Amino acid sequence: MPLEYALQFRGQFPDPGPWKLPGSFNARLTEPLGISDLPLQKVRRSKRKPYVFNIMVVGESGLGKTTFMNTLFDSALKEQNPPKDLSSLKTVKISPTTYELVEDSVTLHLTVIDTPGFGDQLNRETNFDPIIDYIDSQYEAYLRAERSQEMRRNIQDNRVHCVLYFLPPTGKGLRDIDIEFLGRLCTRVNIIPVISKADGLTREEQQIQKQLILQDIEKHDIRIYPSAYAEDRETLPDIERYIPFTVIGSDDYVESNGKKVRGRTYRWGYVEIENAEHCDFIYLRDLLIRTNMQDLIETTHTTHYAQYRSSRIRAKGRPESFLACDEYYDSKIENERKALKNEMKQREDEMRQMFVQKVKEKEAVLRESEEHLNQRRKQLMAELEEKKRELQAEEESIIQLEQSKMK
């Protein structure tokens, strides 16, 4: 910092450094500027892009999954299918269907993923594999999109944000298939257990089944939503006391206090879907739509998808912890240093051998040239000696000729 700058401001504005935020001072507003409207601007901006929510329903046939989904979103999402021959379903099918719901200029792209055939075969060992493969395949597709420069700007989110697992109203705890399924999927996706057709149980029987299911969940260390992932611990007890949720689905309406409400009519009376004394439907609806839909989406991204992504990265040899990373990278650098040293030594030996070979070849060429020059020199010397003898002979003949003339 220049000395003039430091003396001028007397240290009121110190250099924050490259990784620090500069200090701030409180300033009072004399009149409103509209800063309080910034959250509203963000809300209006968020309405431009449709929200995406993907929910999977899992359970045996005949538990009222289709009717419940129609009741939950107050729309005819799926038509009632005629009864199927359960023996004809050899495996679990994955059937996603996307709907566009609009309310007060807010668009929701809702994808309901049905799993017909689950638990309907005698051999249920392979019932989980198609569901697990589908969840992992959506994570893998999202991971590939994140790595792609073209798709990163607008990634289509097809990941499963929530699984509603329907339990039969038996008045008992979890079955073996329930324990195995929940145990294998609770680390992959948000799971909410639901007791369907709760009108088949009395209020006391509902509470008994809830307690037995919660005991099995705790015994087998099954992580369910929102108990295992909730960030707002203050409101969590209000939701936890209804888990697992008892629900009733119905496309019919009944007359209650002069109003038409969704419900079922029996010979002894009727039950209301949205009556908290009859079932927990309103609490489950509030959890899925009004209060925790965004949290379900964020938990999927920050917890389950992050765990899948880290497992894929670790599969390539990257360690988990920071300390292990230090040791890993140190060992990696040391190995690369040794490999580079060996490579340099090998290249040096190769260059030395190449240099020696070229020197030998050059020496052979020079030696051959030297021999050729020596032979040429000998030849020229022989020719020179021959010329000298011829000159001497001519010189002697000339001398003899001159002596003869003098006589």
Segment 27-37 shows an average pLDDT of 83
What distance separates the 2 farthest-apart alpha carbons in the chain? 179
Segment 233-255 shows an average pLDDT of 74
Q: Please say whether the dihedral angle defined by the alpha carbons of residues 136, 138, 141 and 147, taken in this order, is positive or negative.
A: negative
Q: If you average pLDDT over every residue of the chain, what do you get?
A: 82
Q: What percent of the chain lies above the pLDDT cut of 70?
A: 83
Question: CA of 272: how far to CAs of 71, 75, 196, 278, 280, in Å?
Answer: 12, 17, 14, 7, 11
Which residues have C-beta within 8 Å of that of residue 245, sequence separation ≥ 6? 192, 193, 194, 195, 279, 280, 281, 283, 284
**95-103 vs 106-114, strand pairing mode:** antiparallel
Segment 208-235 shows an average pLDDT of 82
Q: CB 346: neighbour CB atoms within 10 A?
A: 10
Which residues have C-beta within 8 Å of that of residue 195, sequence separation ≥ 6? 167, 169, 201, 206, 209, 210, 213, 244, 245, 246, 247
Residue 90's pLDDT is what? Answer: 59
Does pLDDT of 7 surpass 50? Answer: no
DSSP per-residue letters across 50-95: -EEEEEEEE--TTS-HHHHHHHHTTS--SPPPPP--GGG--S---E
Report which of residues 338 and 266 the model is more confident about: 338
Residue 23's pLDDT is what? Answer: 65
Does pLDDT of 115 surpass 70? Answer: yes
Through-space distance between the first and last CA atoms of the chain, rounded to whole angstroms = 120
Does pLDDT of 87 surpass 60? Answer: no
Does pLDDT of 247 surpass 50? Answer: yes
DSSP per-residue letters across 341-385: HHHHHHHHHHHHHHHHHHHHHHHHHHHHHHHHHHHHHHHHHHHHH
Strand ranges across the sheet with 95-103: 95-103, 106-114, 51-58, 162-167, 191-195, 245-246
Question: What is the identity of the amino acid at 360?
Answer: K
Is residue 298 within 8 Å of residue 157, measured between CB atoms?
Answer: no
When mean pLDDT is compared across 1-10, 67-76, 293-302, the lowest value belongs to 1-10
* Closest to 62 (Cα-Cα) out of 127, 116, 22: 116
- What confidence category does residue 9 fall into, taking pLDDT thresholds of 50, 70 and 90? very low
- What confidence category does residue 133 fall into, taking pLDDT thresholds of 50, 70 and 90? very high
When mean pLDDT is compared across 43-52, 74-83, 240-249, 273-282, the lowest value belongs to 74-83
Domain extent listing, the chain: 45-316, 343-406
Residue 21's pLDDT is what? Answer: 59
Look at domain 45-316 and name its CATH class. alpha beta
Residue 80's pLDDT is what? Answer: 53
Residue 320's pLDDT is what? Answer: 54
* Closest to 251 (Cα-Cα) out of 76, 106, 95: 76
Residue 400's pLDDT is what? Answer: 84
The residue whose two tokens read 């893998």 is 140
Does pLDDT of 350 surpass 80? Answer: yes
The residue whose two tokens read 């145990």 is 183
Peptide bond into 169 cis (omega under 30): no
CA angle 318, 324, 327 (to 5 degrees): 100
Q: What is the pTM of this model?
A: 0.68
When mean pLDDT is compared across 2-16, 108-122, 168-182, the lowest value belongs to 2-16
Residue 22's pLDDT is what? Answer: 61
